[in-house]
Structure 1
C-alpha cells in the first residue's frame, strides 16, 4: 500500500469526516483508556467515514480490534505490542506503522518490517502524553542522513506539533510526509485546513525537495 504524505490523527468520526472532505486520504484513530465497547464503536464509526471517502483507516494501539473490524492497519507506539507480534497476529496484508524518536528506534522498526515510521516529536505538542525528547528540524536532518547512509527506504513521517508552514522544510530534510492532528482538527475550518495541507505535501516544490 502506498503510504500517504499526509496522515491525519483524530479521536472522532466527526473530525475525520471534516478532514476527508478536505481530501485527506489517511486517517488514524488515536484514543486511550476507553472501555472496549466504546473503543470498538468509535473505531467502526471512523472506519465508515474512511470507507465512504476511500481513505486508509489506521487504528492506534489495538491490533486485535483492527483485525476484528478489518481496519487497514495499526500504528504501534513504543510501549505497545511489538511489531513482530502484531504481524504474526494480523498477517501480511495489514499496514503496520511504528513510533520512533531516535535512529536506533528506526533500526529496530525497519528490522521488524513495518510499512512506515512516525518520527517525532518535531516540537512540543499537547495532543500526546509522555512526550519523547523534541527533535526539531536539525534532529530530523541528522536522523534522515543516518537512514540514507544505512540504505533504509521505509517511509518516515514527521509528527508532533507540525504546522502548515513547516511542511516544505520537513520534506526537504528527507521526510516522506507529515502526520497532523491539531493543525487540522483544531482549525476554525478543518476542511479548508486539510485542503491546504494536501496541497502543500503535493506541491511540485515539496516533491522536488525529496
Structure 2
C-alpha cells in the first residue's frame, strides 16, 4: 500500500483544492464540532476534489462517515475508535492511520495493524487543541530508534508545526514524510507552497 510522503490536513474542500492544485495527492479532512449532516456534505465536496485530482481521501476521527461515502480511509486520534474496531467496521481494504506521541502509542497502533502513524507534534501549533508534549527533532530520533530496535516498520509521518526548512532533517532521522496544515493553507499561494514541500520530499519526482 502506497503511503504518501505529504499528508495535507484540510478543513474545507477549498483548502483541499488549493493543495491538490500544487501536487498534493493525500488529503486528510479534519473537522471538529460540526453537525453530522454538514460534516457529510463537506466530506462529499472534498471527495469530489480528490477524485478530480486522483488524490487519496482520509476522513479524520469518523470511521462511520468514511464508510458511508466510500472514502479511502480514516485517521484515528487517541480518543477516537480503536483501530482494531475500525478495521472490523471498514474491512481489509481501507487505509487506517493513527496518532501517536510516545513509543507506547506506536507499539499499540502497530499491534492494531494500522497502515501509517502520525507522530508529533514537532513543535507548538495552534491548529490542534489539547496538544500532546512536544517531541522536537531529538524526540523523533529517539522514538524511531526504538521502532527500529523493535522491528516496527509501519510508516511514520511527522506532524505539528512543520516548516519547509524542517523537511530535510525530518527525513534524515528516518521519518517517512510530513503532515501539514497551516504551512500550506495559510501561505499567500497555497498551491505554490505545496509544490515547494513536494520538491523537498521528492527532489527527483513530480506529483509523487
Q: TM-score, normalised by structure 1?
A: 0.96
Q: Does residue 83 in structure 1 map to residue 67 in structure 2?
A: no
What is the Cα deviation at residue 116 of structure 1?
Answer: 0.1
Q: Does residue 160 in structure 1 map to residue 160 in structure 2?
A: yes
Q: Does residue 46 in structure 1 map to residue 46 in structure 2?
A: yes
Post-superposition Cα deviations, 1:111-164, rounded to whole Å, max 9, x if no partner, equal 000000000000000000100000000000000000011111100000000010
What is the Cα deviation at residue 33 of structure 1?
Answer: 1.2
Work out the CA distance in 2 between the residues paired with 1:104 and 1:203.
33
Once superposed, what is the RMSD of the aligned Cα atoms?
0.6
Q: Which aligned segments of 4 or more residues in structure 1 are displaced greater than 2 angstroms?
A: none
Structure 1 unmatched runs, 5+: 205-210
| Equivalence map 1:46-125=2 (5 Å) | 46-125=46-125
SS at match of 1:157: strand
Work out the CA distance in 1 between the residues paired with 2:171 and 2:70.
31
Match of 1:187 in 2: 187
Match of 2:132 in 1: 132
Match of 1:171 in 2: 171
Post-superposition Cα deviations, 1:19-52, rounded to whole Å, max 9, x if no partner, equal 0010000000001111000000000000000000
Work out the CA distance in 2 between the residues paired with 1:181 and 1:33.
18
SS at match of 1:203: coil
Post-superposition Cα deviations, 1:88-117, rounded to whole Å, max 9, x if no partner, equal 000000000000000110000000000000
Work out the CA distance in 2 between the residues paired with 1:57 and 1:199.
21
Work out the CA distance in 2 between the residues paired with 1:148 and 1:101.
17
Match of 1:20 in 2: 20
Work out the CA distance in 1 between the residues paired with 2:202 and 2:147.
23
Structure 2 unmatched runs, 5+: none
Q: TM-score, normalised by structure 2?
A: 0.97
